[in-house]
Structure 1
Amino acid sequence: MNDGVAQVLSLVGERWALLVVREVALGLRRFNELEAATGAPRTVLSDRLRRLTAAGVLAPRPYRIPGSRERTEYVLTDAGADLLPLLAAVSDWGERHLGAGAAQDVVYRHGGCGGRVTARLVCECGEETSPHDRLIAQVNR
């Protein structure tokens, strides 16, 4: 599978994967916290954490509660943080196209001013483009 979009979707397109990334970005780090927040079955969550870690999206970090065995918590890597615009874009799309039934549990806001953060298409020249602008796709095969 050499197609970049297909490769990305094989990782983050699986059910629960982006929800795990979102929850880690929001500060949940431990398995039981992620399980409660996402509702993912334990075996599925374990698999997603393993795959996201292997792909470099999450990094494991050991921790120990006094009197118990060492456990693992997860933090976003730079690659994981780079998925946040995707989460914002998916959230925006759901709000616009799924109607009232798609209430937003998470609204992305700028830490500096509190304004809402949205994903935009921006050309490398700096000009913002519209999804309705004519975009030229270059296929490299």
Structure 2
Amino acid sequence: MGYKITGELTLLGDAQFGPNGVRQYSVIEIGSNVYSKFRAPAGINTYLQKAVHGRGPTTLYVEGNFIYGVTTPEGKTYCWKKEPIGSLFMMMFGIIGLPFMGIGLILIIAASKELAINVGSNALLRQGGLRV
């Protein structure tokens, strides 16, 4: 499972748009730390924008460099959730593709990252987070 970053969200840098509405921020400043190249899906981006204008602590829920959840200064938690079926298919094709020059390994690693995000999102939902 991922990790949490808590502090006052003071800066969201420039964002590049990627596939499926995912944004990659040049920098994010939260608390006294600066993080670069964090990614966030469109639904989470909305609440990051809200949190940067609020006062108080914000918590980011992160897997690798992907922000899948946010608790705003008002205390509401929002999380992004993707259905795991695509990740499971990717994992299956990865296992089948292992003998073929490592292509399967790439798929297995990508599927594992997506499944880890799914596990983190499920935990937030069980704690009362809202799905976006």
Q: Do the two structures share a fold, i.e. TM-score over 0.5?
A: no
Q: TM-score, structure 2 length as denominator?
A: 0.28
Higher relative contact order (CA 8 A, sep 6+): 2
The structure with the largest strand share of the pair is 2
